[in-house]
Amino acid sequence: MCGIVGYIGNNAVTEELLNGLKNLEYRGYDSAGIALNDNQKIVVFKASGKLTNLNAVLSEKKAQSCSSTVGIGHIRWATHGKPSIENAHPHLSNDGNLVLVHNGIIENYKELRQQLTNKGVVFHSQTDTEAAVHLFAEEYKKCGSLEQAVRKALSQIKGAFAFVIMHHAEPDKIIAVRKNAPLIIGCGNNENYVASDIPALLGKVKHIIHLDDDEMAVIKKDNVTVKDVLGNIIQKKIEKISLQPDVISKNGYAHFMLKEICEQPAILRNVLQKHIQNNEIFLDDAKIVVHWEKVRKVVIVACGTSLHAAMVAKKVWEEWLKIPVIIEVASEFIYQNNLIDENSLVIGVSQSGETADTITALKQAKICKAQIMVLTNRIDSSIVRYADSVVPLNAGVEISVAATKSYMAQLAAFYWIGLFMTQKINKISCLAFSEKLQTLREIPEKIEEILSHRQYIESLAQKLKTYAAVVFMARGFNLPTAYEAALKLKEISYINANAYPAGELKHGPIALLDEQMPVIALFEEGETKPKLLSNCEEAKARYAPVIGIGGKRCSDVFDAYIETPDTDACFSPLLLCVPIQLLAYYTAKALHREIDQPRNLAKSVTVE
Ligand code: F6R
């Protein structure tokens, strides 16, 4: 949610900032801008829309020829104020001396705006951010020091923020501060960077410093000093970046999304090899410190796709562990009485590890003394700070805004942790345990088989793209897969897709069905199958085109059918998620959508 880059060194800053922003585009793409500290004058360039629009503005204004070597840049995901040039960052103070970029939300911006307006300050945008730039500028007028002005002003700002700030009179430094929004410093040789996320720094520096909440970094060309709110110096750990620059390449695929879908068998194999050897579960890089004897209930909090992975876990774990597993939408968790205490295990699931809703929910659970576990793809992310146990997902960097491989890795984690817990609390026989491990080990090859038939799914997408709305339905373990299918289809193709428990159709949604409303049913083996088939017949009787996805085709009710290899019903979500991802991908492709960067979305949602 908004990407920030700052650079101070010897190179032409425009190029450095654009390179960094390009690799952060997944965080927002409503507008973009950069500010340069050029011969003690601040110059700002902005464009609405994607980074390519900013490139065009920079070429037109010959910004590339600017000799400045200090600057900050931003790509925006709009919160306050529509995507426009006025609302784009960087925001400049009215005297033109102080400039900043911001990620997060200033909750008391209206009050600050009013106070500043009363003092005669004129506002030019609808953003919450602009209140901060004028507040910093007012404080600067009083003390003449950027560091002090920022420290003074911060005590008046409520909310979440990562600010990166420059002043024309202090061209030797960039100031970076954060609270509940990520920022990292990239440490180079006689040059330093600041950014919202590591991809901005790949190929540029090998070492980084993670800034923590309430810390301020004073970044100069040849040194970085981190201080606390009182100005005391803090010794920070300098960490090596482990990601390779090629993780942000499409490797010949048309889109990151397809590349990431196709990476899933390898990711799953790797996760299973890490955690399962010789019929035993190993923690490997996962740190699990749970007092199992105390756990009376499990609560999982998450959003979006991660929430769907959690819903699969509920179905599987309740069957295996025989304890209640409650799934909560993270953004709702904080407003209700959750009845959790030290006998609750609260699990937060977040690919990015930066989702504000999930982090806030975990903070609240921690106050209630629950044991906290986190499943995340980013072990360097903010969410980890609130966890007693941390399970890395090991899906690799996911660039496409629509989550695919991280979903697979979340499911994989829930399966192996479920088996691990089942053993811990003696709820499974040795035979049943090894049968389950064997079923799990066979999944990657079965996913490869699905991927090898993806041309058929592509041909189905040609038809699907002609409908304005689609219904997904399922029963059992794959109801969450149906929810995920609807989310995936709507977020990248913009076709209105909804998912229902198949039994619920007749209680209302069936009124929607006619020949213009395809119904896609997700099948698994077992007792749900005949009932789901009947629901397909009911849809057909209302003239809806019916598409089936699952094991062997078992009826002529279907207008089309995507066959997947057989597996045990409880493991089938690992298989069925692949054709629904491909169907969404190819439908969006057929509609010429911007697949990796769907409108209005961002990869990392750092606001509540
Ligand atoms: C959809 C998608 C989102 C995320 C949600 C939570 O494809 O990616 O629904 O799943 O924003 O994000 P994380 O997992 O980073 O907490």
Q: Is 400 in the pocket of ligand 1 (CB under 6 A)?
A: no
Q: Is 404 in the pocket of ligand 1 (CB under 6 A)?
A: no
pLDDT of residue 193: 98
445 falls in which pLDDT band (50, 70, 90)?
very high
Count CB atoms within 10 A of the CB of residue 12. 18
- 40 burial (CB, 10 Å; 0-12 / 13-18 / 19+) is exposed
The catalytic residues are 2, 603
Is residue 474 scored above 90 in pLDDT? yes
More confident residue, 27 or 418: 418
- Enter the tokens of residue 249: 């390449």
pLDDT of residue 449: 98
163 falls in which pLDDT band (50, 70, 90)?
very high
Instruction: Quick: pLDDT tens for 16-68.
Output: 999 999 999 888 889 999 999 987 789 999 999 999 999 999 999 888 778 89
Residue type at 451?
Answer: L
- Enter the tokens of residue 170: 């202090």
For the chain, percent of residues with pLDDT exceeding 70: 100
pLDDT of residue 221: 97
pLDDT of residue 38: 85
Whose alpha carbon is nearest atom 7 of ligand 1? 402
Q: Is 351 in the pocket of ligand 1 (CB under 6 A)?
A: yes
Listing DSSP states for 223-260 in one string gives: -EEEE-TTS-EEPPPPEE----GGGGS-TT-SSHHHHH
In angstroms, rounded to a whole number, what is the distance separating the alpha carbons of residues 2 and 246?
23
Distance 455 CA to ligand 1 centre (A): 27
Distance 306 CA to ligand 1 centre (A): 6
Is residue 426 scored above 80 in pLDDT? no
Across the range 133-144, mean pLDDT stands at: 98
Q: Is 69 in the pocket of ligand 1 (CB under 6 A)?
A: no
Half-sphere exposure of 172 (CA within 13 A, CB side): 5
Pocket test for ligand 1, best of 77, 308, 351, 384 (most atoms within 8 A of CB): 351
Q: Is 402 in the pocket of ligand 1 (CB under 6 A)?
A: yes
Count CB atoms within 10 A of the CB of residue 147. 18
172 falls in which pLDDT band (50, 70, 90)?
very high
Q: Rounded to 5 degrees, what are φ and ψ at 9?
A: 180, -135
pTM: 0.89
Distance 302 CA to ligand 1 centre (A): 8
Is residue 244 scored above 80 in pLDDT? no
Instruction: Quick: pLDDT tens for 503-545.
Output: 999 999 999 999 999 999 999 999 999 999 999 999 999 999 9
Residue the block writes with tokens 């180079």: 188
Residue the block writes with tokens 């803090």: 234
Across the range 204-229, mean pLDDT stands at: 96
Q: Is 395 in the pocket of ligand 1 (CB under 6 A)?
A: no
Pocket test for ligand 1, best of 603, 605, 608 (most atoms within 8 A of CB): 605
Across the range 85-92, mean pLDDT stands at: 97
In angstroms, rounded to a whole number, what is the distance separating the alpha carbons of residues 180 and 117?
27
142 falls in which pLDDT band (50, 70, 90)?
very high
